[in-house]
Amino acid sequence: MFDIRVIRESGDEIQSRLGDRGKEIDWKLLLQLDTERRDFVTRVEKKRHRRKIVLSEIGKLKHQGKPDNTELLQEVEKLANEIKADEALIKPTEDRLNDLLLRIPNIPHTTVPSGKDESYNEECRRWGTPPHLAFSPLPHVELGESLDILDFKRAARMSGSRFTIYKGAGARLERALINYMLDLHTQNHGYLEIIPPYLVNRAGMTGTGQLPKFESDLFYIERDDFFLIPTAEVSVTNIHREEILDSSDLPLRYVAGTPCFRREAGSYGKDTRGLIRQHQFNKVELVSFTNPEKSYDELDRLLVNVETVLQHLGLHYRVVTLCSGDMGFSAAKTYDVEVWMPVQGVFREISSCSNFETFQARRAQIKFRGSDGKTDFVHTLNGSGVAIGRTVVAILETFQQEDGSVLIPKALQPYMGGMDKIEKR
């Protein structure tokens, strides 16, 4: 969330740096509400000050055993009433201002390419080569059904579209990937493993930026006012909500493998078949809290940690810098890692690594105390490390054999009980 003072002082600069991202914002209204609020505040504070003085006078007289001064008592009563009335006036203005501030997206970092959609994204690098399959590869849906490791039809019967039942070696593969990634990130990359809540309250969702703007993307449990997490980013980032961290404890690095729940509102007809876009999917997520001056180094590190996963699995991928128009609401800079999907012959997002700078920290009130004793907002970052369902797709499609079996990458075999191939039972 933005500091209204910054907008007050350099609103024009922010507007121009936001570019298209800020075009829905009513900047004039924002400043007007700000002025209004400050006028209210100043007025009320003057009255409160006067009230304090009168009150201490009354206290003094009481102590000296003197009779009540009705004039003073009357003044205090009058002030109390006025203050109450003024406060009632401030509240709606404050709420409106706050709501507007919460709807302003983050400012893109200066190194972010500007552009309105994904066609303006910039490819940074590619790793590996596409597999050369001497036969025409089957899509993961057919492959999964013929191997009897994925069942979309029965899942739809109980839960509707965008749900899947994993069976046998399919379930094992999913679980193996989660365990493999968690082990890699905890043992080799220095992240602390977390199992967070999957249900989060409104304040938590507001902290990371899902609310108030994207409520329709979330599954919501009305009875208890809970939301299902769309990513572990939400619960893991909120671990330190309303805390002042010790600078010497930074960076804090966490990893969590959790299910994620997304309503996918507005994506009807998009990726309807298969594992690509599900209402429920597993993801291993990396989250970092850093000192402000270290956060872009941390973003690079995060990206390397993510790439390591794909390299060990032998999956062809590329890294893309998202342009301003393709970035998420809360991000200042985002790299997407896209894995090669042989059947469609395209790269598909399998990880998204972002630096949020102070955007989430402001919303969630996450600060640190520096060596000078002063407090400031931390920078938060996160990246998928990586999305499990899409990794399953990439593995099935990349390592399939002409006979319909699928080879298991070496790195994964220990997690599959030594299995090196998935075959028809």
Partner RNA sequence: GGAGAGGUGCGAGAGCGGACGAAUCGGGCGGUCUUGAAAACCGCAGUCCUUCACGGGACCGUGGGUUCGAAUCCCACCCUCUCCGCCA
CB atoms closer than 10 angstroms to residue 187: 10
Closer to RNA at the Cβ: 67 or 269?
67
Cβ contact 178:200 at 8 Å? no
Minimum gap (Å) between residue 97 Cβ and RNA: 10
- Run of H or E including 317: strand 317-321
Minimum gap (Å) between residue 39 Cβ and RNA: 8
Catalytic residue (one of 288, 295, 352, 354): 352
Closer to RNA at the Cβ: 75 or 349?
75
Catalytic residue (one of 48, 103, 277, 318): 277
390 catalytic residue (yes or no): yes
Q: State the residues that interact with RNA by CB under 7 A.
A: 3-5, 38, 41-42, 44-46, 48-49, 52, 55, 58-59, 62-63, 73, 76-77, 80, 243-244, 246, 367, 369, 371-375
Closer to RNA at the Cβ: 49 or 157?
49
Minimum gap (Å) between residue 372 Cβ and RNA: 6
Q: In terms of residues, how long is the chain? A: 425
Minimum gap (Å) between residue 225 Cβ and RNA: 9
Closest listed residue to residue 364, CA positions, set 245, 252, 253, 205: 205
Cβ contact 356:337 at 8 Å? no
Closer to RNA at the Cβ: 29 or 265?
29
175 catalytic residue (yes or no): no
Cβ contact 88:338 at 8 Å? no
Minimum gap (Å) between residue 227 Cβ and RNA: 14
Minimum gap (Å) between residue 122 Cβ and RNA: 36
Closer to RNA at the Cβ: 87 or 151?
87
Closer to RNA at the Cβ: 113 or 251?
251
Minimum gap (Å) between residue 166 Cβ and RNA: 22
Catalytic residue (one of 37, 301, 363, 390): 390
362 catalytic residue (yes or no): no
Cβ contact 388:177 at 8 Å? yes
Closest listed residue to residue 199, CA positions, set 177, 173, 219: 219
277 catalytic residue (yes or no): yes
352 catalytic residue (yes or no): yes
Cβ contact 26:33 at 8 Å? no
Calculate helix-pair angle for 70-102, 27-63, nearest 10 degrees. 150
Q: What is the CA radius of gyration of the chain?
A: 27
Closer to RNA at the Cβ: 183 or 243?
243
279-316 per-residue burial string, b: 16 or more CB within 10 A, e: under 16: bbbbbbbbbbbbbbeebbebbebbbebbbbbbebbbbb
Calculate helix-pair angle for 4-18, 27-63, nearest 10 degrees. 170
Instruction: Say how far apart CA 202 and CA 220 lie, in whole Å.
Output: 10
Q: What is the DSSP letter of 332?
A: S
Q: What is the largest CA-CA distance in the chain?
A: 103
Minimum gap (Å) between residue 186 Cβ and RNA: 23
Cβ contact 233:227 at 8 Å? no
Closer to RNA at the Cβ: 63 or 125?
63
Strand 366-369 to 243-246 pairing = parallel
**Residues taking part in catalysis:** 262, 277, 349, 352, 390
